[in-house]
Every structure is written in C-alpha cells, then in structure tokens.
Structure 1
C-alpha cells in the first residue's frame, strides 16, 4: 500500500478547513492569540517563580542565563528490524545553553549572543532497527562533545526585524512544528528527507526574521549545506542552502482556537562531498497546526485540549533532490495537553510518519509513535514511548520499539 495519496488528502482537507477559518478571523479582525514562542525545551510550569534546581544560581536577571537540560532514555528493539539481540540501549544528551544580553550586561555591544554546548553518550537503537526515520531525536549516531551553536543576534526597527549570524541549527526556526515538539522520533523534529544542517551537525548561517504584523512572520536564511562534522567554520563542499518560510498565526472566529499555517521553500546549489556530487535541488514544504478542542479552564500559557498537526515535504520536485534516497515524506498527528483529570501539564500524543524511498524493497517506510509525557515537577518529566516501524528503510522486517525517556530541566 502507498501512503502518498493518504497524506495529500489529509493536507488538502486541513488546508481548506483552516484557510476558511483563518479568512473569517481576518475579516472580523479578531485579536490573535499568540502561542508561546518556540524554545529548545518547553517549561510547562505556570508558577511565576522558577523553581528549577539550579535557577537561583544560573538564571539571575543580570544579562547572563545558563539553561542546562539533560535527556536520558532506555529503549529496546523488541521485535523485527535488523536484530533484537543486545538491542536494549541507554543514550543521553546534555544541552547547556549560555545566553548573553549585552544591554543588560551594560557592555558596549548591541544585541545578544548564545552558545550551545552538547554532549551525547551511550548508544542509540539505529544499528538494531535500521529505520530511515531514526527512533530518537537525541541520537547523534556517533557520540559528540562540541559547541553545536554559536551565534549573535540583533533586533532592528523596534523588534520588527531580527538578524542572526553564526553557527546555527536550521530546525530552531525552520521546518518545525510546536505541536509536535514532544515526540521522540527524529522525523517530528526535522524532515528526514531534508538532508539539512541540523542536530548533530549545525553549520554556519545568516538568517533574518521579519514581523510583518502580529499574525504574519517571514523568515529567510542562507546555510553552509551538508556539514558532516563539527570541525572548522565552513564545510568546504561548495554547496549553499537558501531557505525561506512564511508563517501565519490565527484564531478561529467561532471558538477562538489558535492555529498556524507555514509554507517554505528550499534551494540547494551544487557541491561535492566524499560520497559523491551534491545536485542542484529545489524543494518546498507545507505545515499545518490547529487546536481542535480547548478545555474551559485552560489558559493561554497552558492551553489544555486537543490539537492536530500535519506536514508534507517533497524535495524531488524537478527531477533532482538534494537527498535522493528519500525524495518525499509526510507527518501527521494529534496531541492532547491535560488529558487526565488533575494532570493539566501532561502531554499525550499519537503520530505517524511516512517516507518514500528509492533503495528497493517496499520503497517506503511507515512509522507510528504513541507517548505520554508526565510532568512530575518543574524539573523532572518522565515519558514512556512506543514506536512501530513498518519495513524499516523499506527492506527490514517490521520493528517494535519501546522505551522510557527522562528529562531534567536543571
């Protein structure tokens, strides 16, 4: 069975429904409810006081902020894939983000700067599963200790324009969906068909974000493409990636439910890497996020209820793809925040991902993920997770992956 038409139908139905709702909201000049800005890890605490363990020492309001976050997980390949023998593994990721606000620090330098240190340890499940959609978004494939991001940004024209330059992860601002941020499979963080500079190998870039109005944002950037390791400033492969994205945020006029529609385009110039030639390639993507039901006692800071998301990213649009082994993919899913009574900050999700392949076998891979993320306190979250991968990489037996992730917001 092919899943391409299935995803296209989902996106078409959602697009028609939400464009109609958005136009009604615009015509009636409703006040736009801005969902929280995307950050690396979400803090669901509604308390005014930050009670994380190290906050009194690291996050003082003096222009310097340190944000340590640790992810640890145990996963096992219970069935299928490449093999199940010794297929229970621990993997961890330490993120340490250091932010400097030069104005608050009273330094003669405009803007802000951020440094992100990352360390991964342990071993992921990919050698046992063989999936194209890698089962964990902290799997760096090979353990790393590095400065992953180092950039400087400046606001212009009363914060209408933001400019950022330095080493950056493309998925921080592009090809990302807030609603899908709690899923563990890597496909929900950045399209596997993209072949773009993201974790674990961000690259040098310059990008700008323009607030056209409170509902409409335009982002554009240029990246050093196809970076394979963290050494050096540039990859020297000759390939440059151009990307632009238009994001529209709205609320439906009838029920005041927030939604986001994003459309982006990518263009890759030719280059050369050890494995071969990088072709000239053009791609586009469409993303839709929509809250379907909102509980009566929810707030803008913690919008409890049911939300839906979908994404489609074909890269092989002109007979040439920057990532020819995976010319097309799609994502869809639902998320419910506060599903259980008295657990308003917990998140439950069900999602599916599909990739078209060109390596033989079934020439496609289909993945389903279910999770429940329990917020124990402002520091600790525990997340059981289960994934089913139909024909990993199109050639291996169907795989069943189960595990548990712990997140510490220190």
Structure 2
C-alpha cells in the first residue's frame, strides 16, 4: 500500500549517546582523545603526537566503526545479513584556532556497506538497526555553532533533527532504530525526515533559560532529496544536495533536567559529582532525570490517507502537517559505590493527526541495568518495547493494517574502553503494520563497535 511506503530513518542520536559520535566536548584538550577510545589502551595510538598537537590548536577528530550481523526468521523471507558503517568526524574550537570567540565547527561522514534486514522483513516501520541504510559514502552533518554568553547558541549548516530532538540517553543503548528516530516520525515526515543517513540545510537556536530548563527550536529544508524522488537515499546518494527550496520542517522542544551532576563535582559538596546526593543517594526523588515536550510542523501539502487510495475520487489535500511528543528518562536506582550506574528507565509518547498520517500514535520505553556485575562494571543489559499504531483512516482504506510493535533485549560487553560487543535479540509483531495476512518475525545478531 502506498500509504505505508516510506524511508525508515535510523538514529544518529543513538550512536552519539553511546559515545561513537564523540565531539569536541568529549575529547581531552590535552591529548585529543575521545572519552571512550581504544587509543587509550594503545598509548594514544600511532598518531598520538599529531593528535595532541592538533588538540592544542582546538582540532579533534575520531574514527568509529560499527559492524553487525543479523539473522531473521519470519517476515518476507528468512536470511542473514552483514552491514557496517565507518564514520570519520572532525570538531574544531575556532576560538582557540582562529580567535573567533564562542564559535565551533563540526563535520562527519560515513562509508556504509552491506545490507540491512529491511528487505528480508518486508519493510518494517521500525528498522532493525540504527545503522541500516543504503550502501554509500556520504556526508552527514556539517555545521557552525556560535555561542552568545553562557545561555544562548545558534547552529547552522547541514543538520540532522535526530541529533538533538526527541532523544533519550537511555534509549540510545538499544540497536533498533526506533529508540532513536521514532517510527512515527520516520513514517509521517516526508522522506522520513532529515535523520540518519540524510541531513539537510537548517538552523537551530538553543536557550538555556535556567541551569535546568532549556528551550530549542529548529527550521530545516523539508526534503532531504528531490520531493518527487521515491528513494531519497539514492537520489541524494552522497549527502551533498544541500537543498534549500523545499517547504520547511520545524521542530520545537522544551527540556527539564533535574538532579544533574554538579559542575564542580564532589568538591562542591555533591556525592561523587551529584549535587543532590547528601551524603549518598537517598531515593528516587534525588536521582537524575530528564523530561522533554515538543512539537513539529511541516508546511508541505499532505494527502488524506484515505482518499489518496481511491482511483476515481479527487484527493483531499491539507496544507500542512504536525505532531506532538513527550519523553522521560529517569534513573531509578544508583549503585552505592558509583551513582552514575544502576537502573535507568525511559518512555516516549508521540501523536499526529489520523487523517493525513500513516501512523497516528507511538509509544516506546525500556530499562537498562549497568554496573551490576562486579567483575565487569562497564557492561550493561536492557529490555525495550515499541508500538506504532496505524492511523484509523489508513485502516479504513486497507483493513489488513492495524499496528506494528517490537521488543528488544541486549547485553553490551566492554572489552576495553572504545571496544564493545553487543548480542541482541528482537521480536516484531505485524511487520509493516500488516495484521491480516502479515507475519511476525524474530531476529537476532551481534554488533561490534570500535571507537578510535
């Protein structure tokens, strides 16, 4: 059905949350190494001197690789795949490099190879992997950010919405793409939106209203590739179209973070860096969390999802589209000897009008445990669930449709800093939202991630 045909976008934000898209803020200004890098186990690596010299001038870089193999049973056909993604990123503090106060630069790109499970499963709404994309070598983000004092910043250039909006840090631990770039957005925003692996020109403003409350808003070109293209990844195959003439896509978000680590750490009276732990974590009300509320609008014309399926009747057109969302990311238990680890939970809700969208309601959530194995304090494991409801008007047009849902469990083992192995098992109900005549599917695999 054409209503359900879409590019399923994946999540760069999930990779960022895992530390494999590290930026200048996470790099040591003395040696230039990202916070988690196998170079720390290699005496800095063969380029240690050059990296330190560049870092002294404000330039840091990283090379990351994710490779994974998955096998599925169910869906369109059974089979096995391998896919991989090499990333190179560069960050620059232009104040240190050239004297431009408060100005920073970022660029990253990918070499993507192999093939994901999407075809095997028959086109799920929620892609199995956050790195799944067509094989290509492409630019992703390319931007400048200017800070105005301590509270205001403006970012402009080639941007991805999933780098900053509707994300949770805990959700970033999972492999399925929907825990980053939610399946409802991938289904409802034209061409899946400017999310991995496609960015688009835009601008974002962020205002830290208080230490805990942040507002951010962005405007993007509304189509990552030619709007008439059925396969935007193929049409914008290197990420260098830089389109600016299409109807805009806008996003706004308010974020409230509470019980966060004190800037000065334990020396300011916090327990191992947490300002509200006195002298130790005393309950859930003292543990850190983040709440977000947001909305999006797209000013292009949208067809009614029911009338668009009729051959003889004219299509009903709407002159815009919109949606709303909210999320919570909360630590519910902190280990006494290391409060940065313990049990974290997250949940997200999103909705959009049923008359012009393939998916009108979405929910996901999960739990991640970290630091519970004394001999392996840096390992983690988790379980998550996601649900995408096909809109009532789409079901009216095609009674075989209903919903798609999936569950995921994983164990992530750190071999050394910057090198992890992550076995993963997922189950999907009603692949592609097809309830009648469709198939459930089970799939499992292993991801290896290397950050240098």
Q: TM-score, normalised on structure 1?
A: 0.81
1:397 paired with 2:406, answer: no
Corresponding residue for 1:76?
Answer: 71
Structure 2 residue corresponding to 1:199, chosen from 186, 196, 199: 196
Separation in 2, partners of 1:279, 1:401: 40
**SS in structure 2 of the partner of residue 352 of structure 1:** strand
Alpha-carbon distance between aligned partners in 1 of 2:143 and 2:179, rounded to the nearest angstrom: 25
**Number of residue pairs the alignment of both structures matches:** 360
The equivalent residue for 2:154 is: 163
Distance 1:265 1:239 in 2: 17
Q: CA deviation at 1:152?
A: 0.4
Contact 2:418–2:451 (CA under 8 A) maintained in structure 1: yes
Q: Could you say which residue in structure 1 is the equivalent of 2:296?
A: 266
1:210 matched to 2:204? The reply is no
Partner residue in 2 for 1:12: none
Note the 1:89-104 alignment, pairs <5 A. 89-104=81-96
Pairwise CA RMSD? 2.7
**Residue 249 of structure 1 contacts residue 260 of structure 1 at CA under 8 Å; is this kept in 2?**
yes
Q: Which residue of 2 aligns with 1:286?
A: 326
Report the CA distance between 1:62 and its aligned residue.
2.2
Provide the C-alpha distance between the structure 2 equivalents of 1:346 and 1:110, rounded to a whole number of angstroms.
37
Paired with 1:39 and 1:338, the residues of 2 have a C-alpha distance of 17
Change (3 A) 1:320 1:281: farther
The 3 A distance-change label for structure 1 pair 154 and 278 is farther
Rounded to whole Å, the distance in 2 between the matches of 1:348 and 1:380 is 16
1:344 matched residue in structure 2:
377
C-alpha distance after superposition, 1:364-410 (max 9, x if no partner): 01100000111110131000000000110122311001000000001
Partner of 1:376: 415
**Structure 1 residues 208-236: Cα deviation after superposition (integer angstroms, max 9, x where no partner):** 11111111111111011132323421164
Note if contact 1:289-1:309 (Cα within 8 Å) is conserved in structure 2.
yes
Partner of 1:365: 404
Q: What stretches of structure 2 of length at least 5 have no aligned partner?
A: 1-15, 27-33, 225-231, 260-275, 309-314
Q: Larger C-alpha radius of gyration, 1 or 2?
A: 2
Among 231, 234, 245, the residue aligned to 2:243 = 234
How far apart in 1 are the matches of 2:178 and 2:319?
23
Per residue, is there more helix in 1 or in 2? 2
Could you tell me how far apart the structure 1 residues matched to 2:200 and 2:19 are? Answer: 19
Change (3 A) 1:281 1:39: farther
Q: What do the CA deviations read for 1:103-144 (whole angstroms, capped 9, x no partner)? A: 22135586111111111100001001122111001001x212
Q: How has the CA–CA distance of structure 1 residues 343 and 241 changed in structure 2, closer, same or farther, with 3 Å as cutoff? A: same
Query: Structure 1 regions of 5+ residues with no counterpart?
Result: 1-35
Q: Mapping of 1:145-184 within 5 angstroms?
A: 145-157=137-149, 159-184=150-175
| Aligned mates of 1:177, 1:282 — CA distance in 2 | 21
> Helix, strand or coil: the match of 2:416?
coil
Q: What is the CA deviation profile of residues 326-372 of structure 1, one whole-angstrom value per residue up to 9, with x for unaligned ones? A: 22211010011113222221121100010012354241011000001
Tell me the distance in 1 between the aligned counterparts of 2:215 and 2:167: 14
Question: 1:37-91: per-residue Cα shift (whole Å, max 9, x none)?
Answer: 89654789689x94466472436332111111100000011x211111xx11100
Counterpart of 1:325 in structure 2 is 358
SS of the aligned residue for 2:170 comes to helix
TM-aligned CA distance change 1:399 to 1:215, over 3 Å: same
- 1:287-310 per-position Cα deviation (integer Å, ceiling 9, x unaligned): 0111111110114xxx11001100
Task: Provide the C-alpha distance between the structure 2 equivalents of 1:193 and 1:286, rounded to a whole number of angstroms.
Answer: 13
Are the counterparts in 1 of residues 102 and 148 from structure 2 also a CA contact under 8 Å?
no
Contact 1:58 1:67 in 2 (8 A): no
- Contact between 1:355 and 1:365, CA under 8 Å: does it hold in 2? yes
